[in-house]
Structure 1
């Protein structure tokens, strides 16, 4: 079977989106299927020649879409849809897939649905997050706006038109059912971890600890993108109380993003400023060095539709690396973490409660080894990509009649 995945972006860009894509494609190749990806116009930094419109990255083939003529929103988005549709037509003629598997955002689905019908190909639409809620989470829209309502209608229409729908968690599935999408049409393919990438965690990198001033510290860490919905302002706000309870506590923030300047200003004004370190963005092959310094990975996501409905990938990766996890008690985290068993949940949007939860974990080190082992076992049993991807097989077989 030949499966063509239609994507917003892919490797060599590094993001949770591209890592999930990589895991799916690698696991499907392992099942004996032929796979390739097609990315939209936003993948390329500029218009490039035809010789640049296909490349192999990490053993995976990706076709690229050139940029359309520039325009303002919403004309820009419609031009991107048209450009992706034209490129998809050409790739289908060249590569001859049996199955189209289009991944959110909904712009990709709008382009692919028309082309799929024209070629008589079945289409699975995979939703990783609702585009309208992601825009609210990124601070580029507000819930209930005209743009929000239109995007929501388009998302519902795409799900209704697709031959099958895949979602990454139960929260998204339940929301689609409430919109009238038949439950039997929706499959859940949860976020998972490629366990081949995570062996025994490395020992602490003492040279890096010395460089960052973390020797002898109790380190709370966050490694990822600095979006408002991640709640890193609450984590910084929790630090004075945490340092008062645990004098050796230190916060290590690795990454970057839209909130970086505001977070640095907040940290500089904090009474605990000397206990907050921004390491900046680091190369992907260096990230493990920073993980090795962290005692507790903290994920203080704010309570909102996006975080209630969508499960993140980072806590699973932390558990796979046998790291302690503390996260806000929102729906996306509750699908991953059992409080007191595989991790610790604390009330969202509450820096005082966050400080208390972290201080309690540091005060109870006797249970750390068991919690790490239980969390790793959960990932191996329930969130391993090699087993997760097998969920697609019956859907593909039903739609294509092929194995």
Structure 2
């Protein structure tokens, strides 16, 4: 529906879904004799909170998105979304935020809300693990043996910044034969990045396997010595950060507050000023010549996440 209907129609459908949620949630709460409802908050969604309150059951909201932050999909009924949001944040019994910045932003915009805690994202350490993995062999299979491999995992979209990172570092890679890039994922800027790689004759130094099954992502992370997170936002808690760190791959990341909350610069990763493209590229190149530092910080990143 998001592809084929106007935004205002999609939002009306989201509002209408509250009727379905109200009935289904109520049925589940009663049949399971539930003690609490834990719900991942979604814009325009109030059915779960309303039903739980009417049944006298505590409801906790996990908040990863909000009407008051900059979003990839702009809202049509923004005022209505804010009013619904303000109501559910006050009427629920507790809120779980992914960062302090997000919590402060919500409280600044909506005033007094339910009691809240900060719980950043995490990683499934049974799936994202180096146990039983031969990293040397994995690198060899990808033609990256003997290289300092800087990796990226995620969507190839403009707001993740992987396009500008490749464009900035590409002219310098030929002079840094010890460094290779392993860029895993797909998206609207994939072909654009691939063209940059071809134009600079970097096919042997920049490996782009495209989209891979989720269960195979760990295999590619195992081939990375460290990683790059070109961009994020002021409130988010990027999953890739935690999953890569769990596998001993520390990242060069922008120092947005939520990232700085979980990454110690030089201890469990490396931070650069947001939007400072030159600093990001310089740090990636500098680290490619310091494998001991990469290994030390990677081990500390893994230990921290676990």
Question: Which TM bucket (shorter chain)?
Answer: 0.7 to 0.9
Map 1:312-391 onto structure 2 (within 5 A).
312-380=238-306
TM-score, scaled relative to structure 2 = 0.85
Name the Cα RMSD after superposition. Answer: 2.9
In structure 2, the residue corresponding to 1:222 is in which secondary structure? Answer: strand
Q: How does 1:204-353 map to 2 (within 5 A)?
A: 204=135, 206=137, 209=139, 212-269=142-199, 272=202, 275-302=205-232, 307-353=233-279
Q: CA deviation at 1:294?
A: 1.1
Determine the structure 1 residue equivalent to 2:5: none
Residues 242 and 358 in structure 1, CA contact (< 8 A), matched pair in contact too: no
Per-residue deviation, 1:167: 0.9
| Separation in structure 2 between the aligned mates of residue 314 and residue 348 of structure 1, nearest angstrom | 17
Task: Provide structure 2 residue ranges, at least 5 long, that are not aligned to the other structure.
Answer: 3-7
The question of whether the paired residues in 2 share the 8 Å contact of 1:223 and 1:255 is answered with: yes
Q: Is the 8 A contact 1:238 1:354 kept in 2?
A: no
Q: Does residue 188 of structure 1 match 2:125?
A: no
Query: CA 1:180–1:84 in structure 2 vs 1: closer, same or farther (change >3 Å)?
Result: closer
Contact kept, 8 Å, 1:242 with 1:249, in 2: the verdict is no
Q: Describe the superposition over 1:142-185 as per-residue Cα deviations: whole angstroms up to 9, x where unpaired.
A: xxx76445433432332122121111221111112213544771
Show the counterpart of 1:400.
Answer: none
Offset of residue 365 of structure 1:
1.9
Which residue does 1:161 correspond to in 2? 91
In the alignment, the residues of structure 2 paired with residue 376 and residue 308 of structure 1 have an alpha-carbon distance, to the nearest angstrom, of 24
Aligned to 1:92: 29
Distance across 2 between alignment mates of 1:226 and 1:286: 18
What's 1:23 paired with? Answer: none
- For residues 54-80 of structure 1, give each alpha carbon's deviation from its aligned partner in whole angstroms, at most 9, with x where no partner exists: xxxxxxxxxxxxxxxxx9323221222
Q: Which residue of 2 aligns with 1:45?
A: none
Residue 170 of structure 2 corresponds to residue 203 of structure 1: no
For residues 272 and 189 of structure 2, what CA distance do their matches in structure 1 show? 23
Structure 1 Cα separation of the partners of residues 288 and 297 of structure 2: 13
The offset of 1:265, in angstroms, is 4.7
Q: CA deviation at 1:341?
A: 1.4
Conserved 8 A contact 2:267-2:297: yes
Q: Which residue of 2 aligns with 1:11?
A: none
Is contact 2:179-2:205 (8 Å) kept?
yes
Q: Structure 1 residues 336, 124: closer, same or farther in 2, change over 3 A?
A: same
Is contact 1:160–1:181 with CA below 8 Å preserved after alignment? no
> In the alignment, what sits opposite 1:79?
16
- Does the aligned pair in 2 maintain the 1:234–1:350 contact within 8 Å? no
Secondary structure at the aligned position of 2:37 is classed as: strand
Instruction: Describe how 1:170-189 pairs up with structure 2 within 5 A.
Output: 170-182=100-112, 185-189=115-119
Q: Which has the higher helix share?
A: 1
* Cα pair distance change 1:320/1:243, threshold 3 Å: same
Q: 1:342-363 deviations in whole A, cap 9, x for unaligned?
A: 1111233333222101011112
CA gap of 1:278–1:373, structure 2 versus 1, over 3 A, is: closer
Asked if 2 retains the 8 angstrom alpha-carbon contact of 1:226 and 1:258, the reply is yes
- Paired residues in the alignment total 300
- 1:89-135 Cα distance to aligned partner (Å, 9 max, x none): 22223222111111122334x1212211222221111102325536x
SS at 1:287 equivalent? helix
